[in-house]
């Protein structure tokens, strides 16, 4: 039985003309903006916010704050399971790739791959498996081996020939902080990433991403009002250039301002001891329309799709592969 996994990478521009594909998780940041009557205005406004934030942070030799613009690519990763000679593919991962256009030098500079992270299998783990495990139970607990398969699939992709042929550096994923943790400001300060924060305890998301091989650090960039969570391999502060880091900050903080304005578009900045509050009323809204309630409901549907089309049909193959997979 040949149970090798093969990855196929496709790319599409994320611009004001972007239309989500049928295989895209419609709850993911970029796809959610590209739906409904306001889709083109949403996309145009989001891209303007990204460019403005980029130029605000990359302010050296940039007197008019218009030297740079960010071009985004949606990277879709399909995994093919070659089961008894019958290749079946499943949309495994979607991430964002940033590219920086320097209008002064007329150069296009490669940015960072990762940024936003979208995964049907993660939807299954959190919105199906975790919910079913805790249904009608008095206390919350985590299923045994929770996140193992997803973590190994991600590491397999990052170490694949397909990844190495398309990307020169390892990914950085940028997420929101957790609203049930408290973050304490440290004395460490980076000129681009800003001031570092430390959480009072590890979160389930941290543990889940650790199984993907990723470490996490929390930084609040200059002019920001809340820390961002940066998940990475290697050395975040030294493996990436200033412009690469700025491309991730400007892109992902824009998404967070849209989706979590209570935290990232708050009217006052995080202090030395910071607890994010999704009920914070002292915040501003962006001029971008989206349906956050629908977004939560769809995560369950997407998790069930993964269960029906990937987890259950290939359960024995996936379990056998996971048991034997090691880097």
Each residue's pLDDT tens digit, 45-55: 999 999 999 99
What is the per-residue pLDDT for 3?
47
In angstroms, how far is the first alpha carbon of the chain from the final one?
21
pLDDT for the residue 300: 81
Q: Are strands 228-232 and 86-102 parallel, antiparallel or unpaired?
A: unpaired
Supply the pLDDT for residue 29.
56
Cα–Cα distances in Å, from 96 out to 11, 14, 61, 267?
9, 9, 27, 28
Percent pLDDT > 90 in the chain is 68
Residue 83 in tokens: 């089961």
Taking the CA atoms of 272, 49, 180 and 95 in sequence, report the sign of the dihedral they define: negative
The rounded Cα 243 to chain-centroid distance in angstroms is 19
How many C-beta neighbours within 10 Å does residue 297 have?
11
Mean pLDDT, range 229-256, rounded to an integer: 97
pLDDT class of 277 with cuts at 50, 70, 90: very high
- What band does 42 get if pLDDT is binned at 50, 70 and 90? confident
Mean pLDDT computed over 269-298: 84
* Phi-psi sector, 61: left (phi>0), alpha (psi -120 to 50), beta: left
Task: Identify whether the C-beta of residue 308 lies closer than 8 Å to the C-beta of residue 300.
Answer: no
Compute the average pLDDT of residues 19-32: 61
Mean local confidence (pLDDT), 64-91: 85
**pLDDT value of position 205:** 93
Q: Token pair of 10, please?
A: 């496709």
CA distance readout (Å), 325 to 147, 153, 232, 311, 319 = 14, 9, 21, 17, 10
pLDDT at 220 over 60: yes
Q: Report domain extents, the chain.
A: 5-316
Rounded CA gap, 282 and 149, in Å? 41
* Percentage of the chain modeled with pLDDT above 70: 90
Mean pLDDT over the full length of the chain: 90
Query: For the segment 84-137, what is each residue's pLDDT rounded down to a tens digit?
Result: 556 678 888 999 999 999 999 999 999 999 999 989 899 999 999 999 999 888
């Amino acid at each position: 039985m040949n149970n090798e996994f093969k990855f196929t990478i496709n790319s599409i521009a994320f611009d004001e003309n972007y239309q989500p594909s049928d295989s895209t998780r419609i709850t993911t940041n970029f796809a959610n903006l590209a739906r409904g009557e306001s889709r083109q205005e949403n996309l145009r406004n989001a891209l303007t916010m990204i460019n403005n934030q980029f130029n605000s942070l990359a302010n050296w030799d940039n007197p008019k704050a218009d030297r740079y613009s960010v071009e985004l690519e949606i990277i879709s990763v399909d995994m093919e399971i070659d089961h008894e000679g019958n290749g079946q593919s499943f949309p495994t991962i979607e991430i964002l790739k940033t590219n920086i256009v320097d209008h002064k030098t007329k150069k296009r500079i490669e940015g960072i791959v990762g940024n936003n992270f979208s995964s049907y299998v993660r939807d299954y783990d959190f919105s199906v498996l975790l919910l079913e495990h805790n249904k009608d139970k008095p206390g919350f607990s985590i299923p045994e081996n929770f996140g193992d398969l997803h973590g190994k699939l991600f590491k397999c992709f990052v170490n694949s020939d397909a990844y190495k042929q398309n990307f020169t550096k390892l990914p950085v994923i940028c997420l929101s902080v957790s609203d049930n943790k408290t973050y304490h400001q440290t004395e460490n300060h980076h000129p681009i990433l800003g001031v570092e924060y430390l959480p009072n305890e590890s979160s389930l998301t941290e543990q889940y991403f650790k199984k993907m091989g990723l470490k996490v650090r929390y930084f609040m960039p200059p002019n920001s009002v809340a820390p961002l969570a940066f998940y990475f391999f290697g050395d975040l502060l030294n493996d990436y250039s200033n412009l690469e880091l700025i491309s991730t900050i400007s892109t992902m903080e824009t998404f967070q301002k849209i989706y979590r304005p209570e935290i990232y578009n708050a009217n006052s900045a995080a202090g030395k001891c910071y607890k994010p509050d999704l009920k914070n009323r002292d915040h501003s809204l962006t001029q971008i329309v989206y349906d956050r309630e629908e977004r939560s409901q769809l995560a369950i549907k997407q998790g069930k799709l993964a269960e029906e089309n990937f987890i259950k049909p290939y359960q024995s193959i996936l379990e056998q592969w996971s048991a034997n997979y090691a880097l």
